[in-house]
Structure 1
């Protein structure tokens, strides 16, 4: 985490007149951070960066992706009481939010692994502005794929691109940009999947297709000798409820915006355990 990022989070949380923390005697103190529920933890490095900024010593036996049980102590903290209090909410927000993403991602990857050893579970760019990289790293902690971090990582030709210029013109234009970027084309039919694959797209996204339609499209690509030349991704409307059906289709990637925007925060708390003398 960059210093400028930490300071922007501090500015948001402390404001210009932090009375609630400064009325506390700034004496040496110890505290623990613990989880109130089972989870896949994430946000360890982010929390450490915040504690370090405030001069708080943070010790942990865990790293992102570890499985925690209710009551597990994530951090033991030593530092000034005021510094611990000022770091508390920012660090807990990151730990709770990112652990929620990692926990949901782990649940989804476990479902997929029962039916496929190779299918990736990926997130999307449906992220919270300003903290995308942290949310995507939480997906990785849960065993998922980060997909694109931003528009520069790959060329994504979506439905609105196709409406504006058509698949063929869009793919040809994308090929002229750079040989280093993969080209992904979003399609809604087997016919368009064949067209995009024939034009040399690297990835075909089957958008809002039901599992049976995904299977049928894969069969058609196989029949035309194009299946092995493209990565096929299923996306749109995929949730915990229908994930198992998609995991049985043979698709290469299942992308789910819900990994981030429908994850639930994990209940994580900080408790003072020893207050020293001033």
Structure 2
């Protein structure tokens, strides 16, 4: 699998840095990455590894999960100036994305736990191609969990599956079976077969009456809600065990800046 950083650097600097070369920039320098707003640090170790692979020294770096405020230094490295210029924009963009995901996740988890301390905020597999490793790590850093890492590690029978295979009454699996019913009637039909029901696009009021009835049929049933606006997470947290979302992957990037100076 191609690493995100290798791909991004090959896109951003495929044939060398024309500007840095034209200006004759050389010698040693220091790069400092700072935030213009509050956030949660994520994937700092991954960024540090990239800098070390490029022969640069890490001066300071926040730990994953650490909170920062406007004007705080998030990451600082020093070494060869041309290498710092190659990594500058990639690093800034990377941190603006993953720290935004971690920040949004922490906010959503804290909001949900005020209502239901046991609720799990879990993300789907609708990640951006090539960026899944870091998006999932950022979610975990923010206090969320992964609902599905990939097609290979879980069973989720979706409406599209049900359109093709109607009779699923005899299914057996060593993994948990999760079913996404299309209707309220299907929810009752599959409640005793499933380990988890994913109730997508059901409103909180409807879940308030539906979930107790489903659990009366299967006391061990886990209920997940999907397709919701995370601004309403507290409303859903009252009734379900898990909230499944891909919204966190689309968090607005944090406003992060960088400065380079010569040593």
TM normalised by structure 2 equals 0.93
- The CA deviation string for residues 232-254 of structure 1, in whole angstroms up to 9 with x for no partner, is 100013331x22211122x1001
Tell me the residue number matched to 2:236. 246
Instruction: Give 1:198's aligned residue.
Output: 192
C-alpha displacement of 1:84: 0.5
Q: Helix, strand or coil for the counterpart of 1:187? A: coil
Q: Quote how far apart the aligned CAs of 1:5 are.
A: 4.2
Q: CA deviation at 1:33?
A: 1.2
Helix, strand or coil for the counterpart of 1:82?
helix
For structure 2, list consecutive stretches of 5 or more residues without a partner in the other structure: none
Paired position in structure 1 for 2:64: 64
Write out per-residue CA displacement over residues 44-87 of structure 1, whole angstroms, 9 at most, x where no aligned residue: 12211221221111133522211111111112211011011111
Contact 1:46/1:94, CA 8 A, preserved across alignment: no
Determine helix, strand or coil for the equivalent of 2:145.
coil
Alignment correspondent of 1:172: 170
Deviations 1:245-278 (A, max 9, x none): 11122x10011211112x01011122124x13xx
Alignment of 1:1-278 (within 5 A): 4-23=3-22, 24-166=24-166, 168-169=167-168, 172-173=170-171, 175=172, 178-179=173-174, 181-199=175-193, 201-224=194-217, 226-227=218-219, 229-240=220-231, 242-249=232-239, 251-261=240-250, 263-273=251-261, 275-276=262-263
Query: Is the CA contact (8 Å cut-off) linking 1:123 and 1:146 kept in structure 2?
Result: yes
TM superposition outliers: structure 1 runs of 4+ over 6 Å: none
TM-score by length of 1: 0.88
Alignment root-mean-square deviation, CA? 1.8
Q: Which runs of 5+ in 1 are unaligned?
A: none
Q: Does the aligned pair in 1 maintain the 2:4–2:131 contact within 8 Å?
A: no
Deviations 1:160-199 (A, max 9, x none): 1111112x42x634x2xx51x2211001434322322312
Secondary structure (helix, strand or coil) at the match of 1:25 reads coil
SS in 1 for 2:62: coil
